[in-house]
Every structure is written in C-alpha cells, then in structure tokens.
C-alpha cells in the first residue's frame, strides 16, 4: 500500500489473459489493469478503518461487516502487553507478549489471517518512542530479581538511566510525553542478550528470567542449534530468518535497545502477520532511527520481497522540512505520514459555521511537501482519531466527504465501545462506520471511493464557500460549508458535452441528473452544510443489479445465518447475514438490469490465492486476484448475466468473501467505473 508505482504489466500474463478472454470486452479489463498503475499519479488509496476498543476475536466476528462496507485495511491498537491492565496499549510493558486486554496471541494471528483472506490489510499501532510510566524512581520496580521492562534495563552501573533518557531531560526527542512515559534512548549502545536462553551466559541482560521459550523470538541463524532439534535448514524461514516450522530453533544474539525494537517489528510482520504499522509519536524519535535502522530492518520483509507500509504520527503543520524528514518513499523506506496538516485546516474551516474560507483546502494537505498537493504521494488522511487532542470538526460529514474523494489514503475512525462507555480514552468515533442502526452515510461514501476514486485530481473551483474538484473523467465532487444557503456554481469538466451524470449521495437538493453542457461545462447545485448535507457527488451510472432477482446469488444455499439481534450493542453486533453452503460445488450468478451499460464483470474469491473457478487469475494491478466468470453475457441485447461454477472442495470450511465488479462500458484510456457486489458465505461441509 502506498509504495512507489510499480509497472504491473511485466507481472501480468497478458498473453495468457488474451487467450482466455473470448471477446474484446473482457480484454478491456486487462487494459485497465495495466493503465491504472502506469498512467497517472493520483489513485484512490485503500480506505482504512481505525477499529478501536474491541477484542481481536470480536473484530474477527465483525469482519463480514468490514468487508461488506468496503474497507480494505484495518488500524488496530498496539498489540504489545501494556503496563496498565485496562490500558489501550500506549504504555508498553512487554513487546513480545500480546496485550491480554485484547486477547491472546492466537486470536491476534487468527484475526490477521482472516483479514488477509478477506483482502483486508492489518496495521498495528506500534510504539517505538517509549515504554510505560514506571521508571527508576518507581518503588519496587527495578531489581529484586524480577524484570522491569522485559528486554530493557532501567539502570546500569555505568549509566544510571540504562536504555532510557533521564527524568530531567527534555525536548521533543529526549523528554517524557503524556505525563511521564519513559523515553527510549535509541542512540545508546548497551549490548545484551535481551531475551536470555542459556543460564549463566555473561552476555545476558541483568535481572531477566532465563527461558528456553525465548528462542522463538529470535531468527534461526544456525540450522544445527539447538542440537536437540537436528538440522533445520529445510524448514520454512521468514525473510529475517524466523523459523516458521520450529520457532524454538531461534538463536539469541547480543543487541542494543534499538535493534531489539527493530526485531520486534520484524517479528510482528513475519511471525504474527501484520501488514504494516501506524507509528505512534514518530516525531519524538530521531530521524536516524527511522532512516538507518527501522527502514533497513523492514526493507523487503513483506510478502514477495515488498517493504511493509507504515504511517507516522507527526503533528507538525507548517515545517515542510521536518515533515519531509519523517516520510520516505525511495524504495528503501515505505513510510508515510498521518495528514495532520489537512486535519488542522479542515478543523478551522468546518468549525467556522459557514464562515471558513474553502479556498484553503487547496494545498491544505501534507501532500504538498513534494510540490504537488493533490497527487496522493503523501498523506494518510483522517477527520478524527482516538486522541482527545484531535476531535472531529463540529460537522464532520463534509470532512469525511472530502478525505474519501481526494487523493491519499483515508481513515474512518470507529470506537466499538466493547469495554463500556465510561472510558475517556480512546475518544468516541463514528457509530455508523459500519452502517447499521445509525445509517449508511459513511458506508455510502466508502463505496463511492471504491467505485470512482482512482484518476487524477483536477481542481475546478475554489471560493469562500465552495470547493469543487473532479477525479478526471470519473467523479465530480462539490463541497459547500455554508450552513444557510445551497450553492449554485458553473464549472469546467473533462466530460464530453451531453454526458449524463447521476448524483451519488442521494441528497435531494443536489442537481440530479447533471447533464454536461457544451464545451464540457456543468451547472451544479451543492446542498448547504446541514445535518446530512454540505456536499454532492456526480458520476456516471454504473451497471445496476437486477431488481427482479437477487443480483449476486449463490446456489444451493443450505441455510442463512442471520445477523445478530438488536439486543446486541451496535459496536459489536454483526449486521451481515451469512449464507451457509454445504456442497462441494455451487453456482455463482450475477444478474444485472437490462440497461445496456455493462461490458464485463470479474469476480474474486477471498484474496484470489485459490482458483475455484478455473479461469486465469489476474496477477497484478488494481484488480489482482480477480478472474472472469465461466460464462459471460454482457447486457448489450438484454440483462447482463454472468455465471461461474465454484469448486468449493478447494476451500477450507469457514467464512469466505466474494466480490464481483461489473464494469461500465467505456472507451480505452478512460478510468474504469464499476458497480461492486459483495457476499459472505460459510463453507460448512
């Protein structure tokens, strides 16, 4: 995610695809797969759901809702064991133990693996600046034959502050933050075996229990050790060398605290399975740590030699040099930034009750640090998050409408409140992030992002009240912060004269339909910024699912597992019914309305790693993992119908995630527009 553009045509078997696709309409998909990744700079990024205040097992139970809502990634709280028993996790105590507040190590792994199956990435919050609140002055914390912070030393004979900065040090890099969290000194070089294995080894860290089970936290650098295991050279090893078949074959090494932190990151990626990290308090760590150690430690450690994506918390707004120093996209590092610059600007504008200057949204993003504020190369955008210092604007719908349609990687914040409503931290989120009883406003925006947000950003008009932009030949977005009056504006577009666009959000006061005038001009009405307004969006009509039958159907279905009853709290209630299939073979059918709109449809089962249809699986690009149906009958002479025979014997029992894209017929070179149909089934043989 958000790595440097990679030409996918070299990884995509075009010849095989052309042989298997039987008409020009299917070949159009292959064209899109290549051009999407090569032709421009501004593509919509995966929408990230920040999912807090819930156990890992509960999040997994709600994964059908996450998938059906259209999210492509999760950001969950720190998984490391915290110092406080009911802590959200930012006061880290033991980095190689999972926080029992959220569940067990197995439950965390199970969640991540299920997310991978659903094609949803998982980003763990990673705290590399500090540990918890206990320190040298805390009674009974240091010594007494017990560990303080596992893997660290709080004090040493030749360094009273051990691996940390002292209580009287200050400044952004050395000072303690948030009321006294002990600050790690990444520049120090105290070398120990930090998770001891052998009793009596003089290199062991002081006061740390010696446990043979610590071996599993180390790479297997010697295939003949320990001797009791025999030669393990044939075992599966991760990129850093962790033995995935026999974890107990790991070999302890001397390292300083910085190397210990990096090894923990590697372990979380390569053993636990995380796809990347949100980096807490990134600006409180020196840049040499990120550039020389973190980046080097994670380079190539992802699947197929990729570098895991991460995004750092850097709250600076104006100092572009500082912001640049904490982002790196050069092939060695794959680090981005949370877009506090855009957040602060949106907060000022949308908190002004219609008196903010919407012109300030142009160039408001951290994306501006590379010279182009709208190319999507920098910036993980958000409207609010778990921290009380980052509350949402007083009317946040318009802010979400903006981040979900501009370039970048948008975040929607959800607090499940599984641990009760009385906790002041983390802050409350959007109760409608997954739909359900609070409505579908946000999920509708997420789906607009999925279907339309991929071409370059074109600013069309910015004035005191209105900000209008286009995603080239795909989507027109109008934002109006005025709380009293709707806004009428005329703009230039890239759509040909006579093009008919529909309003996608459903706001009755917006222009609908929008017909493009001569020379590509358009007259639009954007609703005022009231409870549900403040924005409108226009795009081409994608193919519609049939209204006479279930648009995406699988048969035979043995039974349906209903959604959770309304007595279950909103935050933890599964709202997606799941169809139970008990046979080894089933038929998947997509039926569209008779509108002569579609020219092709493709389907992905889970992440596309198991071929249950038999047609070629696309190997790269935006539509990686998808494949064509067994039979295709585009709706050029009637309703489009697509069918596939599924060999379910190739799938394990459990939940499986199906997505079908039905493409609007467009000319080559234009960005694809499609309708997305999703279904969750349970194979239960």
Number of structural domains (the chain) is 3
pLDDT at 623 over 80: yes
What CATH number does residue 492 fall under?
A: 2.60.40.1180
pLDDT at 9 over 50: no
Do residues 357 and 295 share a domain? Answer: yes
Do residues 343 and 474 share a domain? Answer: no
Nearest partner of 513 among 538, 542, 494, 486, judged by Cα? 538
Do residues 568 and 672 share a domain? Answer: yes
Do residues 532 and 462 share a domain? Answer: yes
Do residues 306 and 439 share a domain? Answer: yes
Domain boundary at 452, 477, 508, which?
452
Q: Dihedral (C-alpha) 19, 25, 26, 30: value to the nearest 10 degrees?
A: 90
pLDDT at 38 over 90: no
d(CA 607, CA 659): 10
d(CA 161, CA 327): 30
Number of Cβ atoms within 10 Å of the Cβ of 320: 15
Nearest partner of 260 among 217, 220, 303, 301, judged by Cα? 217
Residue written as tokens 């995406």? 552
568 inside domain: yes
d(CA 340, CA 347): 10
Tens digits of per-residue pLDDT, 297-316? 999 999 999 999 999 999 99
d(CA 396, CA 383): 7
- For the stretch 455-461, contacts whose Cβ atoms lie closer than 8 Å and that sit 24 or more positions apart, written own/partner, are 455/40, 455/42, 455/43, 455/671, 456/40, 456/41, 456/42, 456/375, 457/42, 457/374, 457/375, 457/376, 457/406, 457/407, 458/494, 459/362, 459/374, 460/491, 460/492, 460/493, 461/489, 461/491
Residue 526 corresponds to which tokens in the numbers above? Answer: 């954007």
490 inside domain: yes
213 inside domain: no
Domain boundary at 539, 561, 580, which?
539
pLDDT at 182 over 80: yes
Nearest partner of 638 among 603, 597, 587, 588, judged by Cα? 597
Q: What is the mean pLDDT of residues 201-216?
A: 95
Phi, then psi, of 683 in degrees rounded to 5: -80, 120
d(CA 274, CA 266): 10
For 484, counting Cβ atoms within 10 Å of its Cβ (0-12 exposed, 13-18 middle, 19+ buried), the class is: exposed
| 220 contacts 235 by C-beta, under 8 angstroms | yes
107 Cβ contact list (under 8 Å, min separation 6): 55, 56, 57, 60
Nearest partner of 494 among 470, 511, 478, judged by Cα? 470
pLDDT at 40 over 60: no
Tens digits of per-residue pLDDT, 328-337? 999 899 999 9
178-192 core/surface letters (b: 16 or more CB in 10 A; e: else): eeebbbbbbebebeb
List the strands of the sheet with 641-647, edge to edge: 552-555, 585-591, 641-647, 631-633
pTM of the model: 0.93
Do residues 426 and 288 share a domain? Answer: yes
pLDDT at 211 over 90: yes
343 inside domain: yes
187 inside domain: no
pLDDT at 26 over 70: no
Decide the pairing of beta strands 309-312 and 521-526.
unpaired
| 130 contacts 95 by C-beta, under 8 angstroms | no
Tens digits of per-residue pLDDT, 404-449? 999 999 999 999 999 999 999 999 999 999 999 999 999 999 999 9
216 Cβ contact list (under 8 Å, min separation 6): 247, 248, 250
Q: What is the mean pLDDT of residues 320-334?
A: 96
Instruction: Note if the bond before 556 is cis, omega within 30 degrees.
Output: yes
Q: What is the pLDDT of residue 639?
A: 75
Do residues 464 and 532 share a domain? Answer: yes
The Cα-based distances of 383 to 66, 390, 537 in angstroms read: 19, 8, 19
Domain extent at residue 349: 43-128+262-452
What CATH number does residue 379 fall under?
A: 3.20.20.80
More confident residue, 171 or 233: 171
321 inside domain: yes
Do residues 557 and 529 share a domain? Answer: no
Residue 15 corresponds to which tokens in the numbers above? Answer: 């010849």
| Average pLDDT value over all residues in the chain | 91
Do residues 328 and 439 share a domain? Answer: yes
Instruction: Note if the bond before 426 is cis, omega within 30 degrees.
Output: yes
| 426 contacts 415 by C-beta, under 8 angstroms | yes
Percent of the chain with pLDDT strictly greater than 90: 85
pLDDT at 509 over 80: yes
Phi, then psi, of 489 in degrees rounded to 5: -140, 155
Residue 464 corresponds to which tokens in the numbers above? Answer: 């005191």
Do residues 325 and 472 share a domain? Answer: no
- Helix (H) or strand (E) holding 34, with range, is helix 24-38
pLDDT at 14 over 60: no
d(CA 610, CA 119): 13
For 380, counting Cβ atoms within 10 Å of its Cβ (0-12 exposed, 13-18 middle, 19+ buried), the class is: buried
Do residues 471 and 343 share a domain? Answer: no
pLDDT at 203 over 70: yes
Nearest partner of 308 among 292, 322, 323, 328, judged by Cα? 328
17 inside domain: no
More confident residue, 10 or 366: 366
Cross-strand partners of 491: 522
Nearest partner of 335 among 362, 297, 383, 372, judged by Cα? 297
Phi, then psi, of 133 in degrees rounded to 5: -90, -20
Phi, then psi, of 301 in degrees rounded to 5: -90, 0
pLDDT at 27 over 60: no
pLDDT at 36 over 50: no
Nearest partner of 646 among 601, 610, 600, 618, judged by Cα? 610
Q: What is the pLDDT of residue 636?
A: 59
SS (H, E, C) 629-665: CCEEECCCCCCCEEEEEEEHHHCCCEEEEEEEEEEEC
Q: What is the pLDDT of residue 195?
A: 97
Do residues 562 and 618 share a domain? Answer: yes
Nearest partner of 123 among 308, 292, 253, judged by Cα? 308
Distance of CA 262 to the CA centre of its chain: 22
Q: What is the mean pLDDT of residues 494-513?
A: 97
Q: What is the DSSP string of 341-374?
A: HHHHHHHHHHTSTT-S-GGGGTT-SGGGGGT-TT
- Helix (H) or strand (E) holding 61, with range, is helix 56-61
| 535 contacts 401 by C-beta, under 8 angstroms | yes
The Cα-based distances of 547 to 451, 544, 550, 600 in angstroms read: 20, 9, 7, 19
Residue 451 corresponds to which tokens in the numbers above? Answer: 């279907």
192 inside domain: no
Q: Residue 44: which pLDDT band, with cuts at 50, 70 and 90? A: low
d(CA 365, CA 459): 14
Nearest partner of 52 among 276, 269, 278, judged by Cα? 278
d(CA 38, CA 15): 19
304 Cβ contact list (under 8 Å, min separation 6): none
Domain boundary at 499, 514, 539, which?
539
């Amino acid at each position: 995610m958000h790595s440097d553009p990679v030409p996918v045509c070299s990884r995509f078997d075009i010849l095989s695809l052309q042989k298997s696709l039987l008409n020009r309409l299917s070949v159009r998909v292959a064209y899109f797969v290549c051009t999407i990744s090569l032709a421009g700079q501004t593509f919509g990024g995966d929408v990230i759901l920040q999912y807090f205040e819930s156990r890992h097992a509960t999040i997994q139970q709600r994964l059908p809702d996450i998938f059906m809502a259209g999210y492509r990634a999760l950001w969950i709280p720190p998984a490391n064991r915290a110092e406080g028993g009911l802590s959200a996790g930012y006061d880290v105590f033991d980095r190689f133990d999972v926080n029992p507040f959220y569940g067990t190590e197995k439950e965390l792994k199970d969640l991540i693996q299920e997310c991978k199956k659903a094609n949803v990435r998982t980003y763990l919050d990673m705290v590399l600046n500090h540990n918890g609140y206990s320190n040298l002055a805390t009674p009974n914390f240091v010594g007494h034959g017990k560990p303080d912070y596992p893997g660290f030393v709080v004090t040493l004979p030749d360094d009273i502050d051990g691996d940390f900065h002292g209580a009287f040090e200050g400044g952004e890099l050395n000072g303690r933050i948030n009321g006294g969290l002990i600050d790690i000194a990444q520049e120090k070089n105290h070398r120990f075996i930090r998770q001891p294995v052998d009793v009596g080894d003089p290199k062991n860290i002081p006061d740390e229990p010696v446990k043979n089970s610590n071996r599993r936290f180390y790479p297997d650098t010697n295939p003949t050790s320990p001797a009791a295991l025999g030669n393990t050279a044939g075992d599966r090893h991760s990129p850093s060398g962790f033995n995935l078949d026999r974890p107990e074959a790991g070999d302890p090494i001397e390292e300083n605290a910085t190397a210990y932190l990096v090894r923990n990151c590697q372990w979380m990626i390569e053993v636990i399975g995380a796809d990347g990290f949100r980096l807490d308090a990134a600006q409180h760590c020196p840049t040499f740590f990120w550039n020389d150690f973190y980046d080097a430690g994670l380079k190539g450690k992802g699947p197929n030699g990729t570098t895991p994506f991460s995004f750092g918390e850097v709250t600076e707004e104006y100092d572009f040099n500082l912001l640049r120093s904490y982002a790196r996209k050069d092939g060695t590092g794959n680090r981005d930034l949370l877009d506090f610059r855009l957040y602060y600007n949106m907060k000022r504008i949308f908190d002004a009750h219609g008196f903010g200057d919407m012109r300030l949204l142009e160039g408001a993003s951290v994306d501006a640090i590379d010279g182009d504020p709208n190319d999507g190369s920098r910036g993980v955008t958000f409207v609010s998050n778990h921290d009380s210092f980052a509350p949402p604007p007083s009317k946040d719908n318009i802010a979400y409408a903006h981040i979900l349609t501009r370039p970048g990687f948008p975040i929607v914040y959800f607090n499940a409140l599984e641990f009760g409503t009385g906790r002041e931290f983390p802050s409350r989120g959007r109760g409608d992030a997954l739909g359900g009883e609070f409505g579908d406003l946000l999920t509708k925006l997420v789906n607009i992002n999925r279907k339309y947000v991929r071409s370059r950003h074109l600013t069309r008009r910015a004035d005191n009240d209105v900000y209008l932009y286009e995603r080239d030949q795909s989507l027109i977005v109008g934002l109006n912060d005025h709380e009293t009056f709707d806004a009428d504006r005329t703009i230039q577009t890239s759509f040909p004269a006579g093009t008919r666009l529909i309003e996608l959000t459903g706001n009755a006061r917006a222009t609908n339909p929008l017909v493009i005038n001569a020379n590509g001009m358009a007259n639009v009405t954007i609703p005022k910024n009231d409870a549900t307004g403040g924005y409108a969006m226009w795009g081409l009509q994608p193919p519609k699912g049939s209204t006479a039958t279930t648009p995406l159907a699988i048969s035979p279905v043995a039974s349906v597992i209903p959604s959770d009853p309304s007595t279950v709290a909103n935050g933890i209630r599964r709202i997606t019914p799941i169809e139970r299939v008990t046979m080894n073979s089933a038929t998947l059918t997509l039926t569209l309305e008779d509108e002569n709109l579609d020219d092709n449809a493709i389907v992905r089962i889970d992440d596309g790693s198991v071929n249950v249809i038999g047609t070629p699986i696309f190997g790269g690009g935006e539509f990686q993992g998808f494949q064509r149906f067994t039979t295709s009958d585009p709706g050029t002479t009637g309703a489009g119908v697509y069918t596939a025979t599924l060999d379910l014997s190739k799938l394990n029992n459990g939940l499986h995630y199906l997505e079908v894209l039905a493409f609007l017929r467009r000319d080559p070179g234009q960005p694809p527009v499609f309708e997305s149909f999703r279904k969750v089934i349970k194979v239960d043989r």
